[in-house]
Amino acid sequence: MTRTDPALPPRLEMRGLGLRFGAVRALDGIDLAVRPGEIVALLGDSGCGKSTLLRTIAGLERPDRGTVRLDGADVGGVPPEARGVGLMFQDYALFPHLTVAENVRFGLHAHPGKAARAVATARLQQVGLADREAGYPGTLSGGESQRVALARALAPGPRILLLDEPFSNLDRRTRDRVRSDTLDLLRETGTTTILVTHDPEEALGFADRIALMRAGRIVQVGTGDDLYRRPISRFAARFFGDLVEVTGTCRAGHVATPFGACPAPDLPEGAGAVACWRPEAIRLAPVGEGLPGRVVGRRFLGATAILAVEAAGFDASLPLPVSGTDGRGPGDAVGLRCDEASTFIFADGMD
Amino acid sequence: MTGAAQALDAEDLPTPRPKGRATRLRPRTFAWTVAALVLAALVLSPVASLVRAAALGDGALWPHLLAHVLPRAVWDTGLLLAGVGALVVVLGTGAAWLVSAYAFPGRRWLEAALLLPMAVPTYIVAYAYLDLLHPIGPVQTALRGWLGYARPRDFVLPELRSLPGCILLLGFVLYPYVYLPTRALFLMQAANLIEAGRMLGRAPSAVFLRVALPLARPAIALGASLALMEALNDIGAAEFLGVRTLTVQVYATWVNRSDLPGAAQIALVMLVAVLALVAIERWARRGRGFAGTAQRPRALARRALQGWRAGAALALGLVPVAIGFLIPATYLCRAAFARVTRMGWPETILAEIGHTVLYAGLATGLAAGIGFLVAAGPRLLPGPFGRGMIRVTSLGYALPGAILAIGLLGPLALADTILSDVLTRLFGVAPALIGLGTGGALVIAYLIRFLAVGTGTCEAGLARIPPSLPDAGRMLGRGPAATLARVQWPLAWPAVLSGALLVFVDCVKELPATLLLRPLNVETLATHLYGEAARGTYEDGTVAALLIVLVGLVPVVVLMRLGTWRAAAATTRP
């Protein structure tokens, strides 16, 4: 999945970053390294510190402790304008008093006029807006504004590009197209990118690696596959979708679940445990196989349908996704199966 | 970053730093802090100097003040403020409710016209009515004619030269301070709540008393405190109308008896009133979020009035406009026209216009420039002082002009002495009284008194710029100064300009500080008018009065075009 060479020295390296706003720990011991060309998503709920972390990398916030290194050099005392970092704001922050071309040229003041014009035109061509050069930001649609902001952030050739919730202001239909165009452009230009998002699907679809954040800390870092299939906590597992959960106790290194005993090698004997499954990990089997269950409801969604299935050992009915053409409905008996590999066991009481 | 710099900066030590937005470039932060401290010292120096002057006076004065001056002055000032406060609240709130809750022909016109009295300074309205209502003036003469009385002494209206007369006149020109924020609140914020009250089946009067009025309390308090600051600043109207307020006593004690400690001691008593007004104003501003429950600002659906009710509503709304603006303005126009046709233009008027524009213009330039920097400073170089400095430099607006002027005498004399000393050492000779003698003192007084207006409008203009825009400027490689020049200034200059306009007009209208601090033998429009009124030669001052009102109309017209704008500006004064 990762398209960059792990042997390269990191473009960005953060160690022990901490920042408090009054009593709130916005950043609490952040360690993260990003390789050149890599796209990393900072994922978390609002208020988890992901935007603060982005602003700290940009130099707009100054950490209380810890270091930020760009290409090996500590940038702790370097003001934002001298870091060579690009930032695309959630509201795009296009200057309303400048034309589209002037906006894109704004960061090219070190270049001679002619060169700056050429770079700006080339960047606007890349995002397909060369014909809007003379227009003002007020005349652009949301998707066009996003593309101008991207062109502007990329124009000075930043060492690293920071995207703060770049697609959250777009309606759903526009968002999917703009997102894939943006991703193509970033891959094409080999731009090292950090993306802040609260949307797990966006993080999964966009990034080489995901850093899941909570309360100023990084909970887990890894590829999308790692986080989805091997979450290290119930919080990490829940973040990517609903879970079916049952509580149990660890006995002889195993936790008893309705699907049978599952190994829990890390838990001490007698410890409370929670076993969880993603709904799609529980498969329907012919009657008589696996755990017996009964369909009690069906919600039709078009391509798929959600069956509500009751089974022994579960307090609530299980919402199981099936194909929209599946004919089973309330009253039908079913069997339920589950892989040991897709069962998550966590200590109870821990998130 | 070089290795040496890195070594100098103890990066590995987790040192506590001021929290908040990035702070870098410490030398510049230091310079900013020093500049801000100097500015704050300038603003606070009048009060400090007043305290010192009052303390220097021997105790012998106090028995006299306590026995003969203060009781009467405190009592009159208290009554005046209470009366004006009650009147502006009733007129301002009533007018705001009338144009917000009801629809009738002429309503939109009335909505704007209700602002007009703002253009008339208190001393001019007193000046106009004194001549209009004089026993042998046009009104009483006409009344006698209708009623068939032959001689002036057979029929006389109640004396205008009285405390009630003063309350009435001040109230009718100061009510727009309440009208503006209250109308803005009814219009924009409280609409959904008032409509909810109506949907719950309450009568309009009950909705007004139980919903609209409580919601509008902070806006009303804010407007009333600003109006009372104006009333406390007033010196002309009270003096013309024979009311011995504290302000008049401060002025008289200094001008007639040259008794600085005495004037300072009375001024300190006034400061208590000033502090009370500032406290009310702060409270009102804190309560600003009180009514902000509307999802989106939206105008109230108005109750349409028909027939005689519509006519009555318009007539009622016109009363304050007529008393506060139409009648005095018409009188000034006619009197000025008569003066000019009979005797030509007053020969000194050009010089007076020149002085007025010179001092007001200098102060305006300084107030707008410093105001922009004070407002922009904390955004560029955030530090522990930023916000607090804005507050301190904005305190001057609450100081009545007379107090400010008396308080400045000490610091200015000291500065003049030092300056003259330095110049003498350097060049052997030096002019005396560089500040007090040249009008520099006046410009400084204007600056201190109206810096808040400049800072407030710049602050409002900058606050409307999303913080991501200057951040984007920084991220695109521009330093703080370049970002200020290329991002914030192009977006904020209209606000700076409107602030400058307000400062200019306020300077032109300001009377007490001008009277006390102008250089010898220099007259501005306002002091000329005051002089004519003091001599009783009203018609000779009408041209100057008319010019002041015309200048005062400029921001009112701007306000009318921008709708609720001054309300926003008034509520963003820190």
Domain positions in chain B: 46-144+156-293, 350-522
Task: Check: CB of residue B255 under 8 Å from CB of residue B531.
Answer: no
Distance from CA of A27 to the nearest CA of B (A): 13
Chain B's closest residue to A18, CA to CA, is B14
Write down the pLDDT at residue B359. 94
Q: For residue range B465-481, what is the model confidence (pLDDT) as tens digits?
A: 888 999 999 999 998 88
* Higher pLDDT, residue B476 or B204: B476
The helix, strand and coil proportions of chain B, stated in percent and rounded to the nearest 5, come to: 80, 0, 20
pLDDT, mean of residues A143-169 = 93
Q: What's the whole-model pTM score?
A: 0.77
What is the least distance, in Å, from the CA of B366 to any CA of chain A?
Answer: 26
Q: Which residues of A touch B25 (CB under 8 A)?
A: 79
Question: Is pLDDT above 70 for B217?
Answer: yes
Q: What is this model's ipTM?
A: 0.82
Q: How far apart are CA A308 and CA A302, in angstroms?
A: 16
> Which of residues B8 and B501 earns the better pLDDT score?
B501
Position B254 scores a pLDDT of 85
Closest CA to B557 of B179, B113, B172, B184: B113
Percent of chain B with pLDDT over 90: 25
Give residue B102's region: left, alpha or beta (phi > 0; psi -120 to 50): beta
Q: Return the top range by mean pLDDT from B179-193, B270-284, B350-364.
A: B350-364
Residues B528-554 as b or e (16 or more Cβ within 10 Å = b): bbbebbeeeebebbbbbbbbbbebbbe
Contact present, A261 and A306 (Cβ < 8 Å): no
Lowest mean pLDDT among A314-318, B34-38, B143-147, B567-571: B567-571
Among 1.10.10.10, 3.90.550.10, 3.40.50.720, 1.10.3720.10, what is the CATH number of B350-522? 1.10.3720.10
Between helices B26-56 and B386-393, what is the axis angle to 10°?
30
Query: Picking from B108-112, B159-163, B567-571, which range would have the lowest pLDDT averaged per residue?
Result: B567-571
Other beta carbons within 10 Å of A328: 15
Minimum distance, in Å, between the CA of residue A37 and any CA atom of chain B: 20
| Mean local confidence (pLDDT), A330-345 | 88
User: Which chain B residue shows the shortest CA-CA distance from A94?
Assistant: B469
Give the integer Cα–Cα distance in Å for A136 and A133. Answer: 8
The domain ranges of chain A are 12-236, 242-347
Chain B: closest CA distance from residue A114 (Å): 18
The pair of structure tokens assigned to A108 is: 């090219």
B325 phi and psi angles, rounded to 5 deg: -135, -55
DSSP states of A246-303 as a string? EEEEEETTEEEETTEEEE-TTSPTT-EEEEEE-GGGEEEE-TTSSEEEEEEEEEE-SS
Contact A148, A127 (CB under 8 A): yes
For A96, nearest residue in chain B (alpha carbons): B491
Confidence of residue B18 (pLDDT cuts 50, 70, 90): very low
User: What confidence tens digit (pLDDT) does each residue in A202-212 have?
Assistant: 999 999 999 99
B364-414 residue pLDDT tens = 999 998 888 888 877 766 655 566 666 777 778 888 998 899 888 888 888
Among B19-28, B113-122, B435-444, B483-492, the minimum mean pLDDT is found in B19-28
Q: What pLDDT digit, counting tens, does each position of B56-105 carry?
A: 776 666 777 777 788 888 999 999 999 999 999 999 999 999 998 889 99
Q: Which stretch of DSSP H or E encloses residue B480?
A: helix B480-483
| Minimum Cα–Cα distance from B5: chain A residue | A77
Arithmetic mean of pLDDT, A125-139 = 91
- What is the pLDDT confidence band of residue B433, given thresholds at 50, 70 and 90? low
Contact across the interface for A87 and B471, Cβ inside 8 Å: yes
Could you read off the pLDDT of B341-355 as tens digits, one per residue? 888 887 888 899 999
In the predicted model, what is the mean pLDDT of residues A338-342?
82
Q: Which class in CATH covers the domain with range B46-144+156-293?
A: mainly alpha
pLDDT at B19: 37
Q: Is the pLDDT of residue B569 over 60?
A: no
Q: How far apart are CA A228 and CA A237, in angstroms?
A: 7
Nearest to B79 by CA among B219, B284, B273: B273
Judged by CB atoms within 8 Å, which residues 487-526 of B form the interface with A?
487, 490-491
Q: For residue A274, report the phi and psi dihedrals to the nearest 5 degrees.
A: -125, 130
CA distance to partner chain B, nearest, from residue A157 (Å): 10
CB atoms A156 and B468 under 8 Å: no
In 3D space, the residue among A296, A308, A342, A305 whose CA is nearest the CA of residue A327 turns out to be A305
Phi-psi region of B172 (alpha: psi -120 to 50; beta: other; left: phi over 0): alpha
Find residues 443-482 of chain B whose CB sits inside 8 Å of chain A: 466, 468-469, 471-479
Around B288, how many Cα atoms within 13 Å sit in the side-chain half-sphere?
A: 15
- Cα(B498)–Cα(A215) distance, rounded to whole angstroms? 44
Best-predicted range by mean pLDDT (B142-156, B199-213, B339-353) = B339-353
- What is the pLDDT at residue B60? 67
Mean per-residue pLDDT, B187-198:
71
Average pLDDT (A224-239) is: 93
Instruction: Report how far residue B529's alpha carbon sits from residue B535's, in angstroms, rounded to the nearest whole number.
Output: 10
**Closest to B544 measured CA to CA, from B373, B372, B390, B339:** B339
Q: How much is the pLDDT for A125? A: 93
- When CB atoms are compared, the residue of A21, A80, A95 closest to B22 is A80
CA angle B181, B187, B192 (to 5 degrees): 125
pLDDT tens per residue, range A46-93: 889 999 999 999 998 889 999 999 999 999 888 888 999 999 999 999
Give the residue with greater pLDDT, B96 vs B215: B96
More confident residue, B16 or B461: B461
Write out chain A residues lying below 8 Å of B473, CB-based. Answer: 95, 106
- Beta-carbon separation of A76 and B491 below 8 A: no
Q: For position B381, what pLDDT does the model report? A: 63
Domain A242-347 indexed as CATH 2.40.50.140: yes
The share of chain B scoring above pLDDT 70, in percent, equals 84
State the CATH architecture for A12-236: 3-Layer(aba) Sandwich (3.40)
Q: What pLDDT sits at residue B298?
A: 58
A313-317, B348-352, B383-387, B489-493: lowest mean pLDDT where?
B383-387
pLDDT surpasses 50 at B16: no
